[in-house]
Amino acid sequence: MQQTESEPVMMLSRWAAGVTPADTGSLMPRAAEAFADTLACMHAGCDDAAVLAALTAARAAEGPGRAPVYGHDVTLSPAGAALVNATAAHALDYDDNFAPGITHASAVLVPALSALCSTRTISGARLLSAYTVGLELHARISSAVNPDHYGKGWHATSTVGTIGTAGAAAWLLGLDAYGIARAMSLGFSQAAGSKLQFGSDAKPLHAGLAARAAVLSALLAEAGLGAQPEFMTGPWGFVSLYGGTASMDLGGLGSRWALAADGLMVKRFPCCAASHKALDAAEILHQQGIAPDHIAQIAVHMPELLARNLRFDTPVTGAEGRFSLSYPMAALLTDGELTLRHFSGEGFATAPYAALMQKIRRIPFDPGSAGVHAPYRIEVSLTSGKTISIIRGQLCGAGDLPLSAAQMGAKIHDCLAYSGRQDAAGLFTRIAGLAGSVDAGALLSPETSGSWVQAAT
């Protein structure tokens, strides 16, 4: 499909409307893995302060319904459940990253799409296809504004994520091309969120607000509400208002899927992804027997855009600790692991990590065309006078280095153990059968007893 400058949104929407579950069949196992990872993160975050506040507000503002709130014996309207579940998915920053969108795509897509399955019977294959279409919409919308948009301070999860997920939700509901375009346009009218909120409760709420807006936008479009379909271009369009200089990339639609070509960055560590290449290096150092008291200094050379995300050098809360470089590196070098419990409680800048944290520095550089994908260089000066240099270009959990089944199982266990929701383990067994389920909502229900096990025809 060739790019058309005058109507990029309709071109994208017409492509999306023509996608069938058969077109995404080979990608369904990857999509199901993303559902498992995101649902684990929802359970881990279900008791976070931001989530409990969102739940209280959603009960008052959104009202009851049939959509489950994971980790709580509560059901809400689809928009209300999407708000709370997406906030939970992103609360502990353990959810995946999607590089083409510069979004926490799954934290918005999975809660929004699964909430809609509570209102009608939708097959698992259709749900997984909607997720795959949604990733593609995130990538294509992002191509017109990023990295400038993200660099200006916008939190793309709650801008690009709102728009792309609204389109995916509209596709899930069976809307035509014009309906998908209107849903995304209505998402544009609700897209907001600054990176200023990183390190605060409002940061995970951005994912919740994006998921809620996506559900509402799709339902409004289904109800016939009108909106300008070509919202990307023009003086008051998304690109000119939100920062960007490029045209939307519409090349390879249907032949090059972002989920296959780019994949997801599934996190091993429960903190901002900007730190993970450095954390991979810290793990290597620990495995080599480099003790904290042998370290004189660590300089992490990283893209300036990402270095700014890790601005809390002496965090005092778990939320700040997740957006620190010095704290998680010091914890991993000291303890040999980094789990959810490292970000709970208090004393982040105290012993046994305080002395080592003072030795870790961020050294930002201009990555040029490599952008956020540029390799990190970690320079370690030892007290002996020896220097160790580690280059990390690829992340474990991304691209050609996916998490192993054992690593993914350990993550799910960590999430359920942290929240005390081990009784939800059966849900993750059922997800393996999601593509063959005739009723995705029943399969994903916390109260499912087994009636969902019936292959789709």
In the chain the domains, ranked by start, together with CATH numbers, are: 1-266 (1.10.4100.10), 273-392 (3.30.1330.120)
Task: Count other C-beta atoms under 10 Å from residue 155's C-beta.
Answer: 25
CA distance linking residue 370 with residue 302, whole number of Å = 12
**DSSP class of residue 385?**
S
Q: Which among 409, 423, 135, 431 has a CA at the least distance from the CA of 260?
A: 135
| pTM, rounded to two decimals | 0.90
Verify cis geometry, omega within 30 degrees of 0, for the bond prior to 64.
no
Q: Which among 313, 37, 48 has a CA at the least distance from the CA of 203?
A: 48
Task: Give pLDDT, residue 214.
Answer: 98
Task: Give pLDDT, residue 400.
Answer: 78
DSSP 133-189: HHHHHHHHHHHTTTTHHHHTTB-GGGTHHHHHHHHHHHHHTT--HHHHHHHHHHHHT
CA distance linking residue 190 with residue 160, whole number of Å = 11
CA distance linking residue 11 with residue 318, whole number of Å = 43
Task: Give pLDDT, residue 453.
Answer: 41
> What residues in the chain have per-residue pLDDT under 70?
1-5, 346-351, 448-457
Task: Count other C-beta atoms under 10 Å from residue 294's C-beta.
Answer: 13
Task: Give pLDDT, residue 398.
Answer: 86
Which residue is it, tokens 């192993």?
A: 404
Q: Which among 280, 291, 287, 284 has a CA at the least distance from the CA of 384?
A: 291
Contact 420, 45 (CB under 8 A): no
Task: Give pLDDT, residue 346.
Answer: 62
CA distance linking residue 17 with residue 32, whole number of Å = 22
Q: Which two tokens stand for residue 152?
A: 């200006």
Q: Which two tokens stand for residue 280?
A: 């991979």
DSSP 272-339: -GGGHHHHHHHHHHHHTT--GGGEEEEEEEEEHHHHTT---SS--SHHHHTT-SHHHHHHHHHHS---
Q: Which two tokens stand for residue 297?
A: 């200094």
Task: Count other C-beta atoms under 10 Å from residue 273's C-beta.
Answer: 22
Can you point out the beta strands (E) in 349-413?
360-365, 376-382, 387-392
Element (H, E) at 216: helix 202-222
Residue 377's DSSP bridge partners are 301, 391
Half-sphere exposure (CA, 13 Å, Cβ side) for 139?
24
Which amino acid does the sequence have at 120?
R
CA distance linking residue 125 with residue 328, whole number of Å = 38
Helix (H, G, I), strand (E, B) or coil at 68: strand
Q: Which two tokens stand for residue 332?
A: 């991993």
Label residues 426-447 b or e (16+ Cβ within 10 Å = b). ebbebbeebbbbbbbbbbbbbe
CA distance linking residue 343 with residue 321, whole number of Å = 7
Q: Which two tokens stand for residue 191?
A: 């897209």
Q: Which two tokens stand for residue 140?
A: 């294509």
CA distance linking residue 456 with residue 443, whole number of Å = 13
Can you point out the beta strands (E) in 383-455?
387-392
